Amino acid sequence: MRYISLFLFLVISGVSISSTAQIVGDMDDESKLYAETKQVNQFFRRFNGEEDEKGERYYAKDKEYRSVRLRKKYLGILFDKANNGINPTLQIDFAKDVLDKTLLLDFHGGNWFSEVHTNFTMNGKNQSVVLFMQLEKDHAGSKWVISHVFADMFEPYFQRDTSRVGQFLHPLSHELAFMNLRKAFTNDSISQFTVKRFRPDHLSIFLYEIKKGNLKFKSVEQVKFHFFQLDGWYFELSEFNRPGYNTGWLISNLVKVNNDAEKDLLKNHLYYEK
């Protein structure tokens, strides 16, 4: 009965037996357990200095709440140490800027979004689709919504064949009531007839194919987050599941952003926009 009661407790509390066994197995090295940033919300709290090393919350009345000492300590462990692509000097500059200017992350502050790599089937064939999610205010709360989509399978729809000459609508087409549109719409390179600044919208096609029943969701493969909240900086947050102390949700990329033009260029790159 004791084992049955334990099982029911684990089910009710939302903890699986396998994850509990892992926790019990790690109790001989509690520092390892405490070092892992297990949730994205916990990353926010650690970055801001709003919890202690054991995960206990600090509040505004607490002495250590957002203290420079605590934040400095956490900033040293919130980077992916295995990533040689992040310049150590840049990390130091970032930490100094964060502490000197008291830069904080705000869950509802905007300027951060998620990149979700998913698997779908399109007419029975496996296809990869990247969903970009952002928080949107909804009445008294907020919700995650899809802001952008990218899928390789949609790219051929928008390819512009620049090798063809003479593929255009004559500037006097209006005098013929645009009757030459018939020829344009039988052309296999219809994108030739769009404005040069046209930007493909994969989200619209994605929603259309879902509604038609051609595109069906299978699974989520990977999740990461992109932050533009801190003035002058961009960083990427990824999850690492590996032995040791440097694990969980960690900063996996860091870029100094000098102006809005650089920020827009970086966002276009992340969204796969050319």
Say yes or no to pLDDT of 132 above 80. yes
Say yes or no to pLDDT of 2 above 60. no
Give, to the nearest 10 degrees, the angle between helix 68-75 and helix 40-48.
130
Q: Is 253 helix (H, G, I), strand (E, B) or coil?
A: strand
Say yes or no to pLDDT of 250 above 60. yes
pLDDT category, 19, cuts 50, 70, 90?
very low
Higher pLDDT, 200 or 162: 200
Give the pLDDT of residue 33.
66
Q: How many Å separate Cα 39 from the centre of its chain?
A: 14
Residue 130 structure tokens: 């990247």
CA distance 50 to 106: 12
Question: One-letter amino acid identity for 25?
Answer: G
* pTM, rounded to two decimals: 0.82
Higher pLDDT, 137 or 17: 137
| Mean per-residue pLDDT of the chain | 86
Q: Where are the domains of the chain?
A: 26-111+228-270, 112-160+177-222
Helix (H) or strand (E) holding 90, with range, is helix 88-100
- Average pLDDT value for residue range 96-111: 97
pLDDT category, 139, cuts 50, 70, 90?
confident
Give the pLDDT of residue 213.
94
Give the pLDDT of residue 83.
93
CA distance 227 to 43: 12
Give the pLDDT of residue 10.
36
Give the pLDDT of residue 94.
97
CA torsion 259→265→268→272, rounded to 10°? -140
- Average pLDDT value for residue range 111-139: 96
Say yes or no to pLDDT of 27 above 50. no
Say yes or no to pLDDT of 76 above 70. yes
Torsion-angle region of residue 163: left (phi > 0), alpha (psi -120 to 50) or beta?
Answer: alpha
Q: How many Å separate Cα 72 from the centre of its chain?
A: 25
Lowest-confidence pick of 72-86, 128-142, 164-178? 164-178
- Average pLDDT value for residue range 70-75: 94
Give the pLDDT of residue 257.
97
CA distance 266 to 257: 9
pLDDT category, 46, cuts 50, 70, 90?
very high
Give the pLDDT of residue 190.
78
Give the pLDDT of residue 159.
72
